[in-house]
Structure 1
Amino acid sequence: MTISATLAANETIAARRAAGRDVVPLAFGGANLPVHPALREAYASAASLADYGPVAGIKSAREALAGYFTRHDVPTDADQVLLGPGTKPLLFALLQALDGDVVVASPAWVSYAAQTAMVGSRPIRVPASAGEGGAPDPELLRPALFQAIKAGMRPRSIIVTLPDNPTGALPSETTMRGVCSVAEEFGLTIISDEIYRDLVFDQAAVPTPVQWAPDRTVVSTGLSKNFALGGWRLGGLRFSAGPTGERLMKRVRTAASEIWSTPPLPAQHAAALAWSDLPALRDRIDRSRHLHCTVASAVADIFRSYDLEVVKPRGAFYVWPDFEPWRAYLKTEHGISTSAELAEWLTEQWDVVTIPGSEFGDAPGSLTLRVAVPGLYGINDAQRTEVLEADDPLSVPWVSHALARLDTAVNGLVAADQLLTASR
């Protein structure tokens, strides 16, 4: 295994900046916004707390997270919640506890398949529905499971992401109902990664599987995306009520006690405030959502203006352009025939850093890219605050400059006046 592609890209951006390059950073999936003062104060006030604390997390933080889920129409008791040092280790411990092969959509976040392999299981790749993302196509899921079982695999779970990383798309209610139906048929646990849930652009349209499969769904969330607190490492799992959820939570908690012991106490105290529905923090999430939507939509429009196929961003802060309409031209003019070669060309020729779609499970010969927009918000907290508070983020000079650089790079990739004749 190699270092995560997203973290490696972040190192590439840092190295090129250190060399004095004018980088357009569209690779790393951090939210790239300032810490809200209220959360900073809550963390600082608890900085002297050096005890280990309960394995599952302190009561106030678990109660706050239970309240968060309940406000989102998922009734939850604090005893159904387990906290950990970020959702990555929580998902790893959960996959280990489930002990079986895992259905992963194609494309999907890089760590799902990697963690599945690390616990000794195998990913079962199933393409997402056309125009969607974050969940396997239920029409393809059933035959894929039959085939996997016939091949001697042991499917035990399905991972869905609402909204999706890498595409920024959202599964439809029809898709999610279908996934839940197949999960019921095959006795699979659904892992619903909802770390970006607060950043769905239309908050009335989040089809969480808890609605249709409440007894077999585990939900994960955290503070890294909605509050841009990735480095604080604090996440949570919500297990179903009843004996099945209790048994699974006990196995994960046992693993937690041997791996990380307890989540960091200062971050837990900040989390108790973050999940408390404080008006000022609701406003921060609303502003963040508006910013991500505005910039992601503008980036998608740039790619779309060059006749590219682009999934409509519906949440998070990602764009997923597909350069397939340019395949013949890219091969002839630049020798590009894979997403890795495409991403490398943009980096080396224009300092536009993205991640190839193949890193997310797309076909090796695909021409897709995962584009993350928060890198455009600025290089320090003063710039990021100005962008966050702007009525029109696209008019902020460094944002408009980066968008113009991106447009120039894409235009340089193919002669726009030759596109319609050369690519068809």
Structure 2
Amino acid sequence: MRRTEAEGHGPVRYGPPLPADGLPVLPELADVLARAAHRADAEPVGGGPALLEAARGYGERRGLPAGADRIVAGPGAPALLLALTAVLGGDVLVPRPCAAWWTPYARALGRPVFHVATPAECGGVPDPYALLETVRRVRDEGGDPRLLVLSVADDPTATVAPPEVLHEAVEAAAGAGLHLVSDETWRDTLHDVHDTVPVSPAEMLPEHVTVVTDLAGALLPPGWPAAVARFPAGPAGDGLHARVLDVLTALGARVAAPVAAAAAYALGEPEPVTARVATAVRLHARVAEAVHAAVVGAGALSLPPRAGRHLYVDLAPLRSTLSARGVGDAQDLEDFLGARLGMPAPGGHRFGDDLGALRVRLSTGPLLGTTDTERTECLTSPAPLELPHVHRALIHLRSVFDDLRDDAQRWEPSR
């Protein structure tokens, strides 16, 4: 396991953040934040009444009703997941690969983390048979698996789990006595809502699921940290809610008052917010489709992106040509592609994949331009891929992958 320590490549301090949208801040959001900038008082731990009521309405519109007394807000999803992990105790299970921010918090608490293989058609949820086998093995070895973290719309794979696949995984987890945390950060970024219907695990087994949503997925800029968690109904959910508030209090994990105002506005989904979300999703979907075509055309493997602002690429078919260029593992690949693309290309080892697997996550945000003027053009253009700066960025990306394909073809033995 070479070059994974903190000297420039550490797995936590140098891990990849959520893919940013690469777009200017929505003016209406900026106005709300600015109007609240004078507030010197802190939001209560767990969120104030206005923020919790907005979160309640947001969840209800998605088929997840809950009173404000079952909702908690925090300064980003990582703080909420840390609190949940601390409260639930035991060992943690996650899919392989998974979002880069899911596992550091468990390890910081000294909790073992076990990765479970995913089905062939999607990421984000474990294969149910692999999940049950992992739970059995961990318990046989004296472990105590209690928590499964999963996502319907996934980072890093940008896939959306079909309802039947999700249902099997949720049933297996509940049968194994696990509590589920459903990360629904990317739920509102589906590229085609008619192609894939998002279903929350909380709709299937409401007594066993806590839903966490980081608003940086669709509603807020990443630099304005805010997230909400919805707890199950009943005594177990009440106890979990109370203990999570205790942990957030101990951490001083409050949402900044101006950010809370902007978050409440965004969660209310007024027309400017819904219009921006829809436009941004269409834009990133087009760019992701173009990137997917480029990498697949070069011989790499990638499931079609269905959500978010990223895609996950496996360059195993190009291993020989990459090896000739000094790329032997995911860290080498991260360095190699990052330098040639001129944008971050975090390796699969950041997401729990094996270091030896040649996988990376590519984001679409860096391809939208380098200035607010260029990025705004992307939002307003009927043909954003034809804008000169986007076209140049895509041509450059395609040329990097085409060079790898051409090298592989030149070195193929003749038959």
User: Distance in 2 between the 1:302 and 1:177 partners?
Assistant: 33
CA contact 1:168–1:313 (8 Å) conserved in 2: yes
Q: Which residue of 2 aligns with 1:327?
A: 319
Asked if structure 2 preserves the Cα contact closer than 8 Å seen for 1:326 and 1:423, the reply is: no
1:376 aligns to what?
367
> What corresponds to 2:32 in structure 1?
42
Which structure 1 residue ranges, 4+ long, deviate > 3 Å from structure 2? 1-10, 347-353, 419-424
2:127 is aligned with 1:137: yes
1:390 equivalent in alignment to 2:381: yes
Is residue 2:143 matched to residue 1:156? no
The 1:348–1:271 alpha-carbon spacing in structure 2 relative to 1, beyond 3 Å, is closer
**Distance (Å, rounded) in 2 between the aligned partners of 1:273 and 1:344:** 40
CA contact (8 A) 1:163 1:169 kept: yes
Give the match's secondary structure for 1:304: helix
1:371-405 C-alpha deviation (Å, 9 max, x unpaired): 11111112222221111222222111111111111
Residue 262 of structure 2: aligned partner: 270
What is the CA-CA distance between 1:307 and the residue it aligns to?
2.0
Q: Kindly tell me: are residues 4 and 67 of structure 1, through their superposed partners in 2, closer, same or farther at Cα, counting changes over 3 Å?
A: farther
Please show how residues 5-404 of structure 1 align to structure 2 within 5 Å: 8=14, 29-203=19-193, 205-331=197-323, 333-349=324-340, 351-404=342-395
Q: d(CA) in 2 for partners of 1:249 and 1:4?
A: 33
In 2, Cα distance between the equivalents of 1:52 and 1:215?
32
- The residue type equivalent to 2:134 in the other structure is A
3-state secondary structure, aligned to 1:231: coil
How far residue 327 of structure 1 moved from its aligned partner, in angstroms, is 2.1
RMSD, aligned CA: 2.2
- When structure 1 is superposed on structure 2, of 314-323 and 221-230 the one drifting more is 221-230
Given the two structures, how large is their TM-score scaled by the length of structure 1? Answer: 0.91
**Secondary structure at 1:133 match in 2:** coil
AA of the residue aligned to 2:210 = V
Task: Report if the CA contact (8 A) 1:105-1:160 is conserved.
Answer: yes
| Structure 1 range deviating more: 322-331 or 288-297 | 322-331
One-letter amino acid of the counterpart of residue 221, structure 2: L
Partner of 1:14: none
Aligned to 1:19: none
SS of structure 2 residue aligned to 1:168:
coil
Change in Cα spacing, 1:261 to 1:329, as seen in structure 2 (3 Å) is closer
Structure-2 change in CA distance of 1:420 and 1:158 (3 Å)? farther
Question: Which stretches in structure 2 are left out of the alignment for 5+ residues?
Answer: none
Question: Are the aligned partners of 1:32 and 1:374 in contact in 2 as well (CA < 8 Å)?
Answer: yes
Structure 1: distance between partners of 2:397 and 2:303: 18
Kept in 2, the 8 Å contact 1:201–1:289? The answer is yes
Q: Which amino acid aligns with 2:390?
A: V
SS of corresponding position for 1:355: coil
Cα distance per residue 1:307-361 (max 9 Å; x no partner): 2211110101111111111223333x32423122222222345535311112211
| Structure possessing the higher relative contact order (Cα contacts under 8 Å, 6 or more residues apart) | 1
**1:280 and 1:4, CA in 2 relative to 1: closer, same or farther beyond 3 A?**
farther
Q: Which amino acid aligns with 2:318?
A: W
Distance 1:401 1:6 in 2: 33
Q: Which amino acid aligns with 2:334?
A: A
Shift of 1:286: 0.5
- Go from structure 1 to structure 2 and tell me whether the alpha carbon gap of 1:273 and 1:152 turns closer, same or farther (over 3 Å shift): same
Q: Is the 8 A contact 1:28 1:372 kept in 2?
A: no
Q: Does the 8 Å CA contact 1:135/1:161 hold for their aligned counterparts?
A: yes
Query: Structure 1 residues 362 and 261, CA, compared in 2 at 3 Å: closer, same or farther?
Result: closer
State how far apart, in whole Å, the 2-side matches of 1:386 and 1:103 are.
Answer: 42
The 8 Å contact of residues 12 and 104 in structure 2, kept in 1 or not, is answered as no
Fraction of identical pairs, as percent:
29
Paired AA for residue 239 in structure 1:
F
Does the Cα contact within 8 Å between 2:167 and 2:204 map onto a contact in 1?
yes
Q: Which residue of 2 aligns with 1:24?
A: none
346 and 161 in structure 1: CA distance in 2 versus 1, 3 angstrom threshold: same
Once the two structures are TM-superposed, the CA of residue 420 in structure 1 deviates from its matched residue by 9.2
SS of the equivalent of 1:8 reads coil
| Residue 9 of structure 1, CA deviation | 7.2
Q: How far apart in 2 are the matches of 1:384 and 1:301?
A: 22
The whole-number CA distance in structure 2 between the counterparts of 1:214 and 1:108 is: 23
